[in-house]
Amino acid sequence: MHLQDKVIIVTGGAHGIGRALCRRFANEQPRGLIVADIDFESAHAVANESHGVAVKCDVSLEQDVKNLIEQAQSTFGSVDLFCANAGIAMSGGAELTNDEWQQALQVNFLSHLYAVRALIPSMLERGSGYFLHTASAAGLLTELSSAPYSVTKHAVIALAEWVAITYGKQGIGVSCLCPQGVKTRMLQGDHPVVDMLHETALEPQQVADCVVEGLASEHFLILPHPEVAEYFQRKAGDYDRWLGGMRKLRTRLKLDSTTAD
Ligand SMILES: NC(=O)c1ccc[n+]([C@@H]2O[C@H](COP(=O)([O-])OP(=O)(O)OC[C@H]3O[C@@H](n4cnc5c(N)ncnc54)[C@H](O)[C@@H]3O)[C@@H](O)[C@H]2O)c1
C-alpha cells in the first residue's frame, strides 16, 4: 500500500511511535490523516505539524472507535488505512486484578477488534482497505515482566492473522508491527527488562521508516529489529529449548523473585 492520496487513521498518534507514524505519513501526501488519541491536546499538536485532524478517542470504548471512523469518513471519505497503535504497558502476572487485566485487554486488544469490526463491511464492499496493527515482539515471543502485555499482544497477532487469511483474497491487507524496544514513554522506568531493551532500542522515526517500507511491500510482519525473526524461528523450531532459554534470561535479569514465584 502506498500512502499518497489515502485516508489514514492513527490511534495513539499523540506520542511515541504513533506520533512518528503521523509525521512520516505526512511526507507521503495522504488525502486525510486523523490523529486519534485519548490525549487530545497532544494529538492536536501532532495534527498541526502533520497536516492532519485531531480526534479525541478512547480506544477502549467501542463507541469512541465507531465515532472516530465516522468522523474520518465524513471529513475525508472512506478509510484506506487504519493504524491500531494505541497501547499501554503494565508490569505483573496472573496476580494483577481483573480490572487491570480488563484494561489491558480493552486498550491493547479489543480496540483492534472494534476497528476491524467497524471497517470490514465497507472495505469488503469497496474491495480494498488495510490494517496496521501495532503489536510487539512480545506478541511473537513474550514480555518477561508482563503477562497482560504478552497475552494481549499475542491476541492482536492472532486477530490480524485471522483477518489476513479470511479477507486477504477480497482486497484487505494486514500488517503487524512487532518491534522490540523503542525510545518512547513506554520504555521509561527503572526495570531490568527496560534496561535490556534499551540496549537495542530504536528511535520512533526509525520504526516509522520501517512501517512505510513494510506497507509498500505489504508484508504481514514488519520487524524493525530483524533479529526478532530469528528468535521467532528458534521458538517455533524447538519450543521447549526456547522456554528454557527464556527461563535462564529471567534468572539472569534477577526477575525470579518478582512475579508469582
Ligand atoms: N516503546 C516500545 O518499546 C514498544 C515496543 C513494542 C511495541 N510497542 C507498542 O507501540 C504502541 C505505541 O506505544 P509507544 O511506545 O509509542 O508508547 P507511548 O506511551 O509513547 O504512546 C502510546 C499512545 O497511546 C495513547 N493511548 C493510551 N491509551 C489510550 C486509549 N485508551 N485511547 C487512545 N489512546 C490511548 C497514549 O496517549 C499515547 O499517545 C503500543 O501499542 C505499544 O504496545 C511499543
For the chain, the domain total comes to 1
- 199 belongs to a structural domain: yes
- 213 belongs to a structural domain: yes
Average pLDDT taken over every residue of the chain: 96
- 129 belongs to a structural domain: yes
- For the record, the C-alpha cell of 77 comes out as 471519505
> pLDDT tens digit string along 66-84?
999 999 999 999 999 999 9
Who lines ligand 1 at CB under 6 A? 11-12, 14-18, 37-39, 57-60, 85-88, 107, 134, 136, 179, 181-182, 184-187
Question: Does 261 have pLDDT greater than 90?
Answer: no
- 36 belongs to a structural domain: yes
- 152 belongs to a structural domain: yes
Question: Does 42 have pLDDT greater than 80?
Answer: yes
Question: Relative to the CA of 43, which ligand 1 atom is closest?
Answer: 39
Mind giving me the DSSP string for the chain? ---TT-EEEEETTTSHHHHHHHHHHHTT--SEEEEEES-HHHHHHHHHHTT-EEEE--TTSHHHHHHHHHHHHHHHSS-SEEEE-------B-TTS-HHHHHHHIIIIIIHHHHHHHHHHHHHHHHT-EEEEEE--GGGTS--TTBHHHHHHHHHHHHHHHHHHHHHGGGTEEEEEE--S-BSSGGG-SS-HHHHHHHTT-B-HHHHHHHHHHHHHHT-SEE-SSTHHHHHHHHHHH-HHHHHHHHHHHHHHTT-TTTS--
- 249 belongs to a structural domain: no
Q: Tell me which residue range forms the domain holding 189.
A: 7-230
Pocket test for ligand 1, best of 42, 63, 178, 186 (most atoms within 8 A of CB): 186
> pLDDT tens digit string along 136-183?
999 999 999 999 999 999 999 999 999 999 999 999 999 999 999 999
Is 149 a catalytic site residue?
yes
- 165 belongs to a structural domain: yes
Atom 14 (ligand 1) nearest CA: 16
pTM above 0.85, yes or no: yes
Which CATH number fits the domain that encloses residue 199? 3.40.50.720
- 236 belongs to a structural domain: no
Atom 7 (ligand 1) nearest CA: 136
